[in-house]
Structure 1
Amino acid sequence: MTGERGSRRGGIVLTVATVAIGLGSIPGFLFGYLGSVFEDDLGISKPALGVLIGVFFGATGLASTVGGAWAERIGAHKAVGLDMLVVAAGLLLAVLVPTYPSLLVMAAATGAGYALSNAGTNMAVAASIAPARHGIAMAVRTAGVPAVGALQSLVGVAAAATFGWRPVLAVVVPVIVVVAVLCFWLLPAARSSGDPAAAVVEAHDLVGDGPGTPRRVRLPAGFLWYPVAAFLLIAGTQPIYSWSVLYLDEVGGLSVPMAGALASVGSAVAVVAMIVLAGRADRTGGDRVRPVVLLTAASAVGVALLWLGILAGPVSMTAGLVLGGLAQLTAIGLMHAAVVATAPHLVGRASGATMAGYYLGALLSAPLFGLSVDATGGYGLGWGVSVALTAASVLCFVRCRSVTARAQAARTG
């Protein structure tokens, strides 16, 4: 009976965390999916749209290290609930004051708040789900982002084109407030997601001022490879979500609603596939990083297909959109499980450090991609650089495998 209650409780936590992480990402994808609407309504150029996207993810990256430590201090429930309130306030500001400066403020504030949700949801899920199920649990949690993205691209694009973007956001605000209440009520504090006795006990991992003084646990040696790999991964693949609708419209010759529908289908397929693949990884067990390496390589192939779509047309573009999105999202979900496996005693800090690199990559990727389109009059340079960055992330995740292996060996040894 106790096991059943624990399983039910874990399912509730996972559901709330999944919804929260998805809703928190709305401002990050808003300007990509609804780019044409903002261009027509407010006269915002592509580089300016890229700046808004970059500000959101850049603020998340800059706040992630502090946000991870803060989430461990105040608890996962408060961290995620607070971010939901910040997102609701930011969207409301955009509705009431529809100007570019207010959109910048909204992007910066909600981006910084998203750092709390990244760490907080990881902490809550890791503390509520058995370690053997962390792969599929983290994949489900991460699936909240493409699920909300699918709604934005399918329902949001059509609704905004019909009614305007402000009424659409106004409807979303009270939903996010309700989710904030559920986070405060249902998520655990989870300030420590692992047993302190399981911490890595090595000379380079524990620091003390002398005999009898408390010693501070550090992240495993070499953990820096995770934020570097995450930086390169998102820098190379972020355009799949931020620019694919405009790309399919302007180069592929598809209408904006049709492009939005294809992006939505791609996201839906990715959600199902990432959960299935993560479940398979859990059943296989062992190396948590190897699947991330393989999926990142598949992401590079997907981006390459998008690049080739300039010559091959919409079929190659659509194939790249689906494969790239599927592989990237699954890689990210399993990356979170790998981070937890590497530093189970410091989930908040490890998540914060990794996502700092991840979102700093998004900060540079979105605006620079937009600038390259304006500067060259086409998408070739942007997609070409994206392929190179994603391929580089594969090599970095190979290094992460050895970091995780050493950390696990040190704990068991």
Structure 2
Amino acid sequence: MAQAAPAPQNNKNNNNKNNNNNKACPAPKTSTVTVTAAAAPTNGNNNNNNNNNNNGNNVFIEESAREQQQRKQQQQREQQQQQRSPEIFESLDPKVIAKGFSNDGQDVPAPGQVRSLTSSNNFINFCLTAGNLPITDGKQITTGSCNPAPIGMIPSVDNMPSAKFNFPKNFGTIKANTPFTIEMNIKNLQTGNFVNAQANYFAAPQQLNKGGQIIGHSHVVVEQIKSLDQTDPTDPKKFAFFKGLNGAASGGKLTADVTAGLPAGVYRLASINTAANHQPAIVPVAQHGFLDDAVYFTVTNDGKAAGGGAANLVGNGAAAGGAAKPPAAAKPTATSKAAPAKTPAKAPAKAPAKTPAKAPAKAPAKAPAKAPAKAPAKAPAKAPAKAPAKATPAKKPAAKPTGKGKRWYQ
């Protein structure tokens, strides 16, 4: 027992040396296997000292791992910044918390206005409140889902996208079952950028290019409708043609080939402008013009506008050969009625020139006999008293076609 007395001091000194060594490098795993049954008090000291040593080693290892992790995160951050894609963290940085999300909007109430959902953490766990809906997870889930991806970058009002179809023309007519090419003019959208729609659908926020324009692409969809003046909503699940315009616009124009054409009928053509992950384009203000375009056209067997009530175009039973064609069908009728009014307008200019040269005295007598329709125009010059009575019927026919024209456009 007397020989065991100095053991604690030696162990202590050795442990201190181990502590110093452990500061420089990790201790061997076998350094703690020194316990004997005869040195019970020593074991307590060794355990305490070794625990301290191990704790010191653990701190050193954790700090080293943290530094490595920080370096990796920094590298990832730089790479993702180059790719214009924000880094994904497992925790929410307080710097990106939107404080306005905690306001339900009812501090300025309005009739019919409802309360907004609120959040103090940017709705980061919103999908946990969505019941049984699965996470979208980049998939096109037809039964419904909840998407946790944020909206992302929003352009300025000067960079809101806009589109207009060049072909087919609105109310135009094309030939059935014949290939044709859809043409659409577009601006303020960096086209030609699309992701895998089967794996990355709605899976990333909207992004902007260096010019502040949405990075994305467009689509076109053709739906068959009953008539050009149909007012019943269509079924979005049904369409005659759909195509993603994955290429970049050339000269501000996008195209899509309809290689098989379309069967005879009436159709609506619309665009769908989106960000790269296929989500509809998001813009900064609620009040703005249409970001897409839509036109209506007919398809006939011979490619000519059909007569009758096939299309029932706004009360005019034509199948619409163009926006200007329906008025042309109505104008001949108005023109035939207004012909008497146009004839006097041309005749007076010639009659005065011939009458003074040949027979000034006979002109009044010949004018009513040869051209009764011209008399109203000459009467104001030679017979002021008769002019009001004759001028009135000449003006009434001209007013009728004008009224009919307005009713057609209504």
Q: TM range, normalised to the smaller chain?
A: under 0.3
From the two aligned structures, give the one with the greater helix fraction: 1
* TM-score, normalising length: structure 1: 0.19
- Bigger radius of gyration: 2
From the two aligned structures, give the one with the greater strand fraction: 2
* TM-score, normalising length: structure 2: 0.20
Which is bigger in relative contact order (C-alpha 8 A, separation at least 6)? Answer: 1
